[in-house]
Amino acid sequence: MSDAGGGPLEGLQVVEMEGLGPCPLAGQLLADLGAAVTVITRRSGPQDKTDINNRGKRSVALNVKHPEGLKAAQAIVARADILIEGFRPGVMERMGLGPSDCHAFNPGLIFGRMTGWGQDGPMAQMAGHDINYLGLTGVLNAIGTAERPIPPMNIAADYGGGTMFLLLGVLSALWERQRSGRGQVVDAAMVDGAPALMALIHAMIARGQWSEQREANWLDGGAPFYRTYECADGKHIAVGPLEPQFFALLVEKAGLPDAHRSDQNDPTTWAARRTDYAEVFWQKTRAEWEALFDGTDACVTPVLSWSEAPDHPHLKSRGTLQEIAGVTQAAPAPRFDRTPAPALRAPEAPGSATEDVLRQLGYSDEALADLRATGVLT
């Protein structure tokens, strides 16, 4: 049974300063769950249906370097619960939209700041990317082959350590505001968030259960029962039965030596078994292995390509991947039983909501015409 409405965040007013990376994803995820997200962008432009991070948002194009553009931006922020931005430290202050500026006219505003290195520290003003934040925190050194570290795309620091901690921060501050009535600044730094994801690994290091050598550990491909294998057709399967009872099923179904069950977690056996298991899994196609393990607890599943994933029966049954305006993309997550997320809609053109938003703030048609003439509306 679901309640009528537009998602669990319906009524939440969010302003997002246009940028790249984890901040736009944070805005997208908030919009997915029903928040009213208004992006302040630098200029108008054509609609791009592939710009998934901008789905469900309104876009306002303003020249905030012009006093009237800044005034309009401040009027939008004045009605917001949350502002999120991903600039280097000091940029928002130079615009006249820093935390002290905004709190002067909206003291309850939650001001979310997303950076790589944080708002302070000797590297705060340096450029960087996911690979750099992972490298500095020790995370990247643990990922890859035995020969070299390999970056896991940009999901670990940018999105895992960035977007998700920005969201945790602003929603936590929103909860606290219910008691204090006051807003605050949230300093979400990827260099802080990425290592926070590593609590289990830090615990294993402290217990002497994790080696700094790559491809030598339980979860980094070192264990023969937690890695991918190539099949007879050149495709791959993912094998991951960590628990003894699940590993026993792998041994049984794949025809591995039953003796392996007794010393599953003995690292001295792993190198030879990786080779042995590779030979076993090479004997069948991916589809044959998938059929053999389907419905079991052996934790063996196919490694699907981007184009294959939407058609997998499980993902299809849940609607995990959807096609919106011809573009395949992930459905909103997580899911709520009473207040489900609103239906997805394609990204709007940058600046397409400028006049509508300003009219809602009290700007007349004459005032809008003046702003267009003076270059405030871009």
Question: What are the E-state strand segments in the chain?
Answer: 13-17, 36-41, 58-61, 82-85, 110-115, 184-189, 227-230, 236-239, 300-302, 321-324, 327-330
Encoded tokens for 173: 């501050």
Contact 329, 21 (CB under 8 A): no
Check if 129 is active-site.
Answer: yes
Task: Look at the block and give the residue holding tokens 């029962």.
Answer: 225
Question: Which residues neighbour 32 within 8 Å (Cβ) at sequence distance 6 or greater?
Answer: 7, 55, 56, 332, 333, 341, 344
Nearest Cα to 95, choosing from 74, 116, 123?
Answer: 74
CA–CA separation, 3 and 44 (whole Å): 36
Distance from C-alpha of 223 to C-alpha of 210, rounded to nearest angstrom: 12
Token output for 215: 């491809």
Return contacts of 253-258, CB within 8 angstroms, 24+ apart. Answer: 253/292, 253/293, 253/296, 253/298, 253/300, 254/280, 254/281, 254/292, 255/280, 256/280
Q: Check 51, 81, 130, 158 and give the catalytic one.
A: 158
Write down the catalytic residue from 129, 192, 236, 370.
129
233 is catalytic: no
Closest CA to 51 of 76, 20, 88: 20
Distance CA 248, CA 9 (A): 45
Is cis: bond before 334, omega within 30 of 0?
A: yes
Q: Which amino acid is at 243?
A: E
Cβ atoms within 10 A of the Cβ of 369, count?
11
Instruction: List, by residue number, the catalytic residues.
Output: 129, 158
